[in-house]
Chain A
Amino acid sequence: MRQFLSVIVFSLLTIGFFAGYSNFGIPQIEPAPPPKEEKLDLGSMTMDQFIAVGEKLFSGKGTCTLCHNNLGRAPLLDTIGEVAQQRLKDPRYKGEATNIEEYLIESLVKPSAFVVAGFGKKGTNDAESPMPDVSGGSIRLDEAEITAVVAYLQDSSGAEVTVEIPKDLGKKKEGGEEADVAEAEPREAISDPEKLIAMFTCDACHMINGVGGEIGPDLSKIGALRNRDYLRRSILDPNADIAEGFEPDQMPEGMGEQLYVSELEVLVSFLAGLK
């Protein structure tokens, strides 16, 4: 028994040492919280504010400073205005940009269009960039955000700021209510499909059981035409399939972020039942 106890004490001390070292032997860094999926309110912004947004994105959600810092993982961007002009003249340049602004945007969404010498992915001989497309993957900047970052890059590198604060994108915000929904405190999930349709103003664009708008297709008999997966997809990712006779980019994206999963299913079931 004595042996048993001393083994136990020994083991607990060992664990205690490891835990103690991890708590007190090394600095405790509070990891940055997950990026918020916040929407920009572009309506009333000055260019300075817009650039400030870009700066925030640059070190925050955009995670640019993860690589673009003074550790040599990626080129520094403090003179990018000038550098971009050289890039455009570089014989290796095969992209489509003709000015600094376009070059910057291209660098962000098609990083491999031009790869700075020595920075390419290992083994690709600078043909492929290790930089992710910042409009996709886990960074997922939207168009307005990318424009803001470009404004910041132009400003901080001393180049002329040529971008304009996007106005047309603001349209998405017109259904201001939707944005509010996302921002608002957690709410009770809604289980009544009619309420959901009213809340998300589907009927502003869609005819449902004879009432509603005509911007989108009539949904009154949609359950007979489409199955549930199709329906779910058209709410989460409206541009995945475009209904015949309609244009893409008409139905608002991002409703999936505001709907609770259970609500999405309520809606889908409701639509599927419209026969």
Chain B
Amino acid sequence: MNGPRSRKTGRTVKTGLLLVTFGFVVALVAFALSGFDQLGAIAAEQEVAADAAAASPYGPAPKLTAADYPSIAGINSRVAVWIFAQLHLWFAAFVLAVPIFVFIIEAIGMRTRDKRYDDMAYEFIKVSITAYSLTAVLGGALLFSLILFYPHLFTYLSTIFKESMIYYALLFFAESAALYIYYYGWHWLQGGFKKWVHLTLGLVLNAVGTTLMLLANSWLTFMMSPAGVDAAGVFSGDAWAAIHNFLWNPINIHRFVANIAYGGSIVGAYAAFKFLTATTKQERAHYDWMGYNANFIAICALLPLPFAGYYLAAEIYAYSQQMGITLMGGIFAWLFIIQAVLIGTLFLSANYYLWCGMGRSDGAKRYTKYIKYIAIVLVGAFLVWFTPHTLVLTNEELKALGGPYHKYLGPLGIMPAKNTAVNVMIIFTALSFMFYRRANKIATVSWVNAGNAIQVALYTAGIANILFLGIYHGYFTNTVYKVAASIPQVLTTLIVIVGSITLDSFIYRGGKQVGPLHWGRIPGRAQYALFLLAVSFTWLMGLMGYIRSGIRQHWHVVDIMRDASPDAFTPTLGYAANVVSVAAIIFMAMVIFVFWIAQVSGNKTLPAGYWKE
């Protein structure tokens, strides 16, 4: 596809982008670091050498009034910062996630010596290069809008994170260097020792990228659960305490896993689009295979996500009961219903794609009759999850709702029921996946029937145990023990999944293939499941960004720095959904641009008679 010349143009385009980005970022970092004094006297204050009299060189968090928030050209500052932050987060998640699985795929390729993996990994990383530039540009835009619209908040945060900001900038350069060497060195560093060097570069790239994310997360978690400062916001000088605040790790974990799933879903959408527009059979086969792998990665990351989510929620609760109730009990309780719709969509579309993919194998007929039952269970579990929990915040809101509990569905709204539903959903997704893997295989070991019986027993016992735990703890014990079910339930789920995968790998050891897999033999509508996955994921991330910031209520930094701007109120869900939707559409347009650029580099025009011979 790529002639040598066109590849060169492609590189020029990218190098140009790269230079522009670098220039932009350098300018911004310089602006941010030096701009402190321009931001007004406050910032310079922090620099004043400690006088003998001073107990701490840091001042308390400023108390602001509405007049401290610049209003510029009638722009709604909150919406501006919100959209830039969200766009940046989307791209950052994508750019962080893609190298993680490119690394994995490259390693698989090295092990299996199947060059298709290497080519696919290369194609992924190529997509993420342009996305990388956009991430940086959007990060700059976010920084800029924060400085512009919330100067005092920015100044306060940067006095605390000043040191880590410098590392942030340094890491950013390290990340760029690693990424570009990794990408441009791909074809050079091939074979034997060189391939190992290349893989190591991938590892470095991922280590740097992850550290970068952790640092960024510390800013936002500091705002939720400030640490390293006293009640008035005076910084103790211990930067690590501020970074390593209470909610840092819970958010790190949830984000890390979510980002991988997200990256998978976006690459899946890319593959789906390429599949739909492919003109040759080989191309179709290639992109079908790519879509399958991307979806596979997304599912693997999707399975542990609910647990990471509940862990995060439990930690928020542990940090502050008030914040926990705001999260799960107030108007945000309705948000979790929307979240359930979205997560249900994710699970259903990922499963649907798997089921459609069974058509690639001639042996799948044996399993198709079970699919409808899986579908029914998934929808049922989804409906339980979907049932609202208690809904209270203030008396006025209570009145608006007419009561704390949903009239009839109350009993299904409690946590054990939801935990049960989640576990059931996960187990059945694993089951779908097992059918998919089995579809093209015939076991040859003598104990097939016994093995299958054990599998059935394992799943049955597991599901029964999960239901029993949920029902017993949910309805026959008092409040304190209600959550006690969650850990044994999760363990059951894990045992079933790990057990059945292990058992299956023995049952099918040395098994026969029904026939070659027909990559590319998948209906077009299955590709739409991949789009649905990507769009829902994007939108879900935006929605959860709203709740993460929303539970801070009228605080910039919880309990320490009050938001005195006219926008300190919590917007309604509908309003938030609209902002998220607009941002998601902008994001989609930018992603299309990214993919388009990746493709332009493959095009070439040979204008007849333009160049002199």
Contact = CB atoms under 8 A, between A and B. Distances in A.
Contact of B539 (A15, A33, A63, A132): A15
Interface string A114-137: 000010001000000011100011
Nearest to A225: B53
A40 B584 CA distance: 46
Given A186-B67, A236-B232, A26 B337 contact: yes
A162 interface: no
B54 to A, nearest CB: 5
A259 B536 CA distance: 46
B425 to A, nearest CB: 20
B53 A227 contact: yes
B48 interface: yes
Interface in B27-84: 40-42, 45, 48, 50-51, 53-60, 62-68
B607 interface: no
Interface string A63-76: 10111011111000
Contacts of B318: 122
Contact of A229 (B40, B48, B62, B64): B48
Interface string A171-208: 00000000000000011010000000000000000000
Contact of B57 (A18, A22, A32, A229): A229
Contact of A34 (B392, B531, B568): B568
A186 B573 contact: no
B54 A66 contact: no
Nearest to A12: B585
A111 to B, nearest CB: 11
Contacts, number: 194
B10 interface: no
Nearest to A227: B51
A29 B401 CA distance: 8
A132 B404 CA distance: 23
Query: A interface, how many residues as a size bin?
Result: 35 or more
A26 B322 contact: no
Contact of B55 (A63, A241, A264): A241
Given A256-B63, A257-B63, A27 B325 contact: no
B364 to A, nearest CB: 26
A232 B59 contact: yes
Interface in A15-73: 15-16, 18-19, 21-24, 26-35, 59-60, 63, 65-67, 69-73
A265 B67 contact: no
Interface stretch (B17-25, B259-267, B554-562): B554-562
Given A32-B394, A225-B53, A262-B40, A14 B535 contact: yes
B334 interface: yes
Contact of A23 (B58, B67, B578): B578
Nearest to A189: B67
Contacts of A66: 322, 325-326, 329, 392-394
B531 A70 contact: no
A55 to B, nearest CB: 11
A31 B568 CA distance: 11
B41 A67 contact: no
A66 B584 CA distance: 34
A221 interface: no
Interface residues of B, number: 83
Nearest to A34: B554
B142 interface: no
A69 B391 CA distance: 12
B331 interface: yes
Given A66-B394, A261-B152, A11 B588 contact: yes
Nearest to B558: A138
B397 A233 contact: no
A269 interface: yes
Contacts of A16: 581
Contacts of A262: 40, 68
A7 B531 contact: yes
A92 interface: no
Interface in B555-613: 555, 558-559, 563, 568-574, 576-578, 580-581, 584-585, 588
B64 A138 contact: no
B532 interface: yes
A72 B404 CA distance: 12
B277 interface: yes
B390 interface: yes
Contacts of B392: 66, 69, 71
Nearest to A15: B581
Given A226-B53, A260-B67, A31 B570 contact: yes
Contacts of B68: 260-262
A72 B152 contact: no
A4 B60 contact: no
B480 A118 contact: yes
Nearest to B550: A31
A257 B318 CA distance: 31
Nearest to A58: B395
A130 to B, nearest CB: 4
A22 B152 CA distance: 33
B479 interface: yes
A10 interface: yes
Given A31-B397, A32-B393, A229 B531 contact: no
Interface in B265-285: 273, 276-277
Nearest to B58: A229
A225 B404 CA distance: 59
B394 A227 contact: no
Contacts of A259: 63
A114 to B, nearest CB: 18
Nearest to A118: B480
A259 B64 CA distance: 8
A186 B65 contact: yes
B396 interface: yes
Most buried by A among B322, B393, B528: B322
B59 to A, nearest CB: 5
A23 to B, nearest CB: 4
B330 interface: yes
Contacts of B135: none
B517 interface: no
Given A29-B401, A237-B60, A240-B232, 17 more contacts: A10-B531, A15-B539, A18-B341, A19-B580, A29-B400, A29-B572, A34-B553, A59-B394, A66-B394, A69-B404, A130-B321, A138-B559, A229-B56, A232-B59, A236-B60, A260-B65, A265-B45
Interface of A: 3-4, 7, 10-12, 14-16, 18-19, 21-24, 26-35, 59-60, 63, 65-67, 69-73, 118, 122, 130-132, 136-138, 186-187, 189, 225-230, 232-233, 236-237, 240-241, 256-257, 259-262, 264-265, 268-269
15 contacts: A10-B531, A10-B532, A14-B539, A15-B585, A19-B580, A29-B331, A30-B400, A33-B569, A34-B569, A66-B322, A69-B404, A137-B559, A236-B63, A237-B60, A268-B41
Interface of B: 40-42, 45, 48, 50-51, 53-60, 62-68, 152, 231-232, 234, 273, 276-277, 318, 320-322, 325-326, 329-331, 334, 337-338, 341-342, 390, 392-398, 400-401, 404, 479-480, 528, 531-532, 535-536, 539, 553-555, 558-559, 563, 568-574, 576-578, 580-581, 584-585, 588
| 3 smallest beta-carbon distances between A and B, as pairs | A34-B554, A22-B577, A227-B51
